[in-house]
Copies of this chain bind each other. A is one copy, B any other.
Amino acid sequence: MSKQIELNRDLGRISSDTMADVVESRLRDYFKKKFFKPGDSLPKELELAEALGVSRNVVREALSRLRMLGMIESRKKRGMILASPDILGVFERVLDPLIITEETLQDLFELRLVLEMGLADILFINLNDKHLHELESIVNNEAKVSEQGFRIKNEIAFHGKLYEIAGNDTLKRFQNMLLPIFEYVLKLEKELVSGKVSHHDLVDLLKSGDKHQFRQGMYEHLKPHFDKLEQMKK
């Protein structure tokens, strides 16, 4: 982390909060303090504006933000209710490699490595024959073509399937969202480097190895990335 970034984070910018920021944060605190639960009816826009002593426009702006986060919903006849936000939906909106800083892109790429290495345990809890067949057909597809764009697609299909097998919907969606980031970072490299353990080898390890052997195989598969990381940190 650069010194400037560290300073920015530790010191915190003096915010020129708009009224909408203030109202948004006030509403958030109010929901917490009153232990509102998903499904509970919320006060009307006009009531909120009066209680806060601000214009209806400002309240509408703040509510619009909470609606975007999925924290509130409007129901016919019932008015506004508190909702269970889709925690990843909002994440998706900001994960654009073109506007994220390079430092964050690198962090997310590392995060991917951590996830792939940590996946083995829950992967082996769920793994069944159907999964193995699906992985095999991805690998067989791959053997046929060597064009770079296609290889990246297959790389994504293979690793995506592993997350799917792990059976955790949030994790799977999270990885799906990170894909454009990985793809972007991979495209920055001149060629698609791969360790000495191939996808084909990994499927073999899933079939007849244990989770330790699979994890070691995954490490070898990702080794060029880990090597690069080691060089950077030195």
Q: Using a CB–CB distance below 8 Å, which chain A residues touch chain B?
A: 1, 5, 16, 18, 20-21, 24, 28, 32, 35-38, 57, 60-62, 64-65, 67-71, 74, 82-85, 87, 90-91, 93-96, 98-101, 103-104, 107-108, 110-111, 113-122, 125-126, 166-171, 174, 212, 215-216, 219, 226, 229-230, 233
Contacts and interface: CB of A to CB of B under 8 A. Distances in A.
B113 A18 contact: no
Q: How many copies of this chain does one complex carry?
A: 2
Contacts of A36: 99
Contact of A118 (B104, B116, B174): B116
A120 B117 contact: yes
Interface of A, secondary structure class, is: helix
A94 B108 contact: no
Contact of A100 (B87, B101, B115, B118): B87
Contacts of A126: 233
B98 A87 contact: no
A206 to B, nearest CB: 17
Contacts of A21: 68
A169 B107 contact: yes
A120 B218 CA distance: 14
Given A84-B99, A113-B122, A170-B111, A93 B28 contact: yes
A81 B27 CA distance: 27
A216 B38 CA distance: 40
Given A117-B117, A118-B116, A118-B117, A84 B101 contact: yes
B67 A64 contact: no
A120 B117 CA distance: 9
B98 A37 contact: yes
A107 to B, nearest CB: 3
Contacts of A90: 69, 90-91, 93-94
Contacts of A121: 113-114, 117, 219, 226
A32 B98 contact: yes
